[in-house]
């Protein structure tokens, strides 16, 4: 894997580095900490800034080589824009930009100096880590010029090292969760089948998570005909992974997250067109977010009981594959007529949601899924679709989305839409029968499997993969959902 920056927190003056990063606010405003350090070369800075029209605008840089009066190889000024207006996600993105610049400059060690609090420094560090991630494990010839192959030592100069390290432990837990989510989505389907994915869930024992894995026989005994129907055309057996983090009181009902984990979605007998089919290696963005979230909450020891459930299948065409026209019986007892074998995610989730609700009686369930192309048509790459039977839950998730810049947009559910999945042949059908309201008709099917429990469904088809490049995400898989839901739990459910 790409070499991630080595992040430390130090006191001013304790060591030296080749590069010193100095954050500068709008209009070249220096904080007192920074002004003191550069008192020797303030004139050089002012002149250079003048020449290059650097004013301290957010995420702009001024690179000064071997500035006179210092021992430095480089002084890198980074603009903060309006200092007071920097919010959580701005700091994370700024950290990403700083790291990106240092990697591009092939810097080996850098100190970042400012008046940042411990919490702010930890957010910058989070962004730096996320920015540096690269999916490059299958490249056998590493490009000598590749920036990520330089091990960058990044040190934040802070006033209270212990406090900053404690803050970093929390943020690092989340960032590593995001990287795990990206990793499973990026991995090619021949390397990550349902069994291998379940294995990754089991590996979370290293952070204190207990994982149970159900095999096909066990799911058969539970009556999970919908989930098993999707996987029956694959050579690789389906799995259900159940991860538990018990950080709360023993008698407290857990909160639950459920992820669609289709390791590859060919469409099945309703085969997808060839163009772009490779992208369906990422049809487990939902499950990726859930495993990443579990990693995050356990690593930072959240004081909450949390369940994460992954429905892991491969959707393939085959002599044994499910057909359009088949009717399957779900664990709930409800029957579903399959009109299109490519509408498989809702089938997987139907059983995974029912199982989660029935067994754990959670306070609420949030599911995540790369569920519909229709959601991408509606929202593009910039918002995930949010559906919920509870306004408070929806508002909490929306607010967390704004805070983390992992934005969601609520779309409707309703009786009229629910009727669209009725069929004379079974309790429901697995498509709305037309292109109308495709993201909602999928969500309506899910809603039939959560009873009265508070529930939200996040359609991440447009945000988990192939998403827009940002300051903290330069690859194909974004890890969308981990930062969003970690923030949501921390703000609204942890005491």
Least distance (Å) from ligand BES to the CB of residue 291?
18
Among residues 372, 400, 463, 478, which is the contact residue for ligand BES, using CB under 6 A? 372
Element containing residue 187 per DSSP (H, E): none
- CA distances, 70 to each of 65, 66, 98, 270, 311 (Å): 10, 7, 21, 67, 58
Residue 287: which of 303, 304, 264 has the closest Cα?
264
Residue of 26, 57, 108, 272 marked active site: 272
Binding part of the chain for ligand BES, among 60-68, 70-78, 370-378, 480-488 by CB under 6 A, reads: 370-378
Number of residues engaging Zn ion in binding (CB under 5 A): 4
Size of the site for ligand BES (CB under 6 A): 15
At closest approach, how far in Å is the CB of 345 from Zn ion?
Answer: 4
Q: Kindly state whether residue 423 participates in binding ligand BES, applying the rule CB under 6 A.
A: no
Binding to ligand BES by residue 373, rule CB under 6 A?
A: yes
Stretch that binds Mn ion, among 294-302, 341-349, 391-399, 437-445 (CB under 5 A): 341-349
Helices (H) and strands (E) in the chain, counts: 15, 17
> Do the Cβ atoms of 163 and 114 come closer than 8 Å?
no
Which of 436, 331, 330, 453 lies closest to 388 in space, CA to CA? 453
Segment contacting ligand BES by CB under 6 A, of 128-136, 144-152, 223-231, 338-346: 338-346
Nearest to 77 by CA among 106, 41, 120, 108: 41
Choose which of 176, 216, 326, 342 interacts with Mn ion (CB under 5 A).
Answer: 342
Which residues, 6+ apart, have CB-to-CB distance to 457 below 8 Å?
366, 367, 368, 369, 371, 386, 387, 388, 443, 446, 447
Cβ at position 146, least distance to Zn ion in Å: 33
Site for Mn ion in 263-282 (CB under 5 A): 265
Is 340 near ligand BES (CB under 6 A)? yes
Please tell me the chain's helix, strand, coil percentages from 3-state DSSP, rounded to the nearest 5: 40, 20, 40
Q: Does 314 bind Zn ion (CB under 5 A)?
A: no
From residue 178, give the alpha-carbon distance in Å to each of 9, 217, 261, 289, 352: 22, 32, 16, 7, 23
Site of tokens 């579990």? 294
Query: Using CB atoms, what's the residue nearest to Zn ion?
Result: 265
Query: From the CB of 371, what's the least distance to Zn ion, in Å?
Result: 7
| 344 part of the interface to ligand BES, by CB under 6 A | yes
Distance of CA 245 to the CA centre of its chain: 19
Q: Which residue has the tokens 């892991």?
A: 312
Give the CA count within 13 Å in the CB-facing half-sphere of 303.
4
How far apart are CB 486 and ligand BES at their closest, in Å?
23
Tell me, residue by residue from 270 to 289, as one string, x for binding to Zn ion by CB under 5 A and - for no binding.
-------------x------
Lay out the site mask for Zn ion across 342-361 (x = CB under 5 A, - = otherwise).
Answer: ---x----------------
Other beta carbons less than 10 A from residue 412's beta carbon: 11
Q: Is 370 in the site for ligand BES (CB under 6 A)?
A: yes
Q: Considering the rule CB under 5 A, would residue 176 count as an interface residue with Zn ion? A: no
Minimum gap (Å) between residue 265 Cβ and Mn ion: 4
Residue ranges of E strands in 123-238: 153-157, 210-214
Clarify whether 346 is annotated catalytic: yes
All residues at 6 or more sequence positions from 42 whose CB lies less than 8 Å from its CB, including other chains? 35
Window of 120-128, 294-302, 339-347, 470-478 that interacts with ligand BES by CB under 6 A: 339-347
Q: Are 295 and 176 in contact (CB under 8 A)?
A: yes
Q: Looking at beta carbons only, is 81 or 267 nearer to Mn ion? A: 267
Q: Which phi and psi (to 5°) does residue 122 adopt?
A: -65, -35
Interface region with Mn ion, contact rule CB under 5 A, candidates 75-83, 260-268, 394-402, 431-439? 260-268
Stretch 455-484 residues interacting with ligand BES (CB under 6 A): 461
Query: Residues interacting with Mn ion, by CB under 5 A?
Result: 265, 342, 344
Active site residues: 272, 346
Q: Which residues bind ligand BES (CB under 6 A)?
A: 265, 283, 340, 342-345, 370-374, 431, 438, 461
């Amino acid at each position: 894997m790409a070499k991630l920056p080595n992040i430390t927190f130090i006191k001013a003056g304790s060591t030296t580095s080749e590069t010193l990063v100095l954050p500068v606010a709008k209009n070249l405003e220096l904080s007192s900490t920074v002004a003191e350090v550069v008192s020797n070369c303030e004139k050089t800075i002012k002149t250079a800034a003048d020449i290059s029209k650097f004013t301290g605008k957010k995420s702009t840089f001024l690179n000064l080589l071997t500035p006179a009066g210092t021992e430095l190889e480089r002084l890198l000024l980074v603009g903060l824009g309006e200092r007071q207006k920097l919010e959580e996600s701005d700091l994370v993105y700024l950290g990403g930009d700083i790291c990106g610049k240092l990697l591009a400059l092939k810097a080996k060690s850098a100190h970042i100096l400012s008046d940042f609090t411990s919490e702010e420094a930890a957010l910058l560090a989070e962004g730096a880590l996320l920015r540096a991630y690269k999916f490059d494990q299958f490249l056998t010839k590493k490009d000598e010029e590749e920036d990520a192959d330089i091990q960058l030592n990044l040190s934040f100069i802070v006033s209270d090292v212990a406090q900053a390290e404690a803050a970093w432990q929390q943020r690092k837990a989340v960032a590593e969760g995001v990287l795990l989510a990206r990793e499973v989505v990026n991995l090619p389907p021949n390397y990550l089948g349902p069994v291998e994915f379940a294995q990754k869930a089991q590996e979370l024992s290293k952070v204190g998570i207990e994982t149970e894995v159900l095999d096909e026989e066990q799911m058969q005994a539970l009556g999970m005909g919908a989930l098993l129907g999707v996987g029956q055309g694959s050579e690789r057996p389906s799995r259900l992974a159940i991860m538990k983090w018990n950080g709360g009181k023993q008698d407290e009902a857990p909160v639950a997250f459920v992820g669609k984990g289709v390791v590859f979605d060919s469409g099945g007998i309703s085969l997808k067109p060839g163009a772009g089919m490779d992208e369906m290696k990422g049809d487990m963005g939902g499950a990726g977010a859930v495993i990443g979230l579990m990693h995050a909450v356990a690593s930072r020891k959240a004081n909450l009981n949390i369940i994460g459930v992954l429905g892991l299948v491969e959707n393939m065409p085959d002599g044994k594959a499910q057909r359009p026209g088949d009717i399957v019986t779900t664990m709930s007892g409800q029957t579903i007529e399959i009109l299109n074998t490519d509408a498989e995610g809702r089938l997987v989730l139907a059983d995974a949601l029912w199982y989660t609700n029935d067994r754990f009686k959670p306070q609420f369930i949030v599911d995540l899924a790369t569920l519909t192309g229709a959601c991408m048509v509606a929202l593009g790459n910039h918002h995930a679709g949010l559906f919920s039977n509870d306004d408070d839950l929806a508002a909490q998730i929306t607010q967390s989305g704004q805070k983390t810049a992992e934005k969601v947009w609520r779309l409707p559910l309703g009786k009229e839409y629910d009727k669209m999945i009725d069929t004379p042949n079974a309790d429901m059908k697995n498509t709305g029968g037309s292109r109308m309201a495709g993201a909602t008709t999928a969500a309506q099917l899910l809603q039939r499997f959560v009873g009265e429990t508070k529930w939200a469904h996040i359609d991440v088809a447009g945000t988990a993969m192939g998403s827009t490049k940002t300051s903290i995400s330069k690859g194909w898989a974004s890890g969308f959902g981990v930062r969003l839901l970690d923030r949501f739990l921390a703000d609204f459910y942890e005491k």
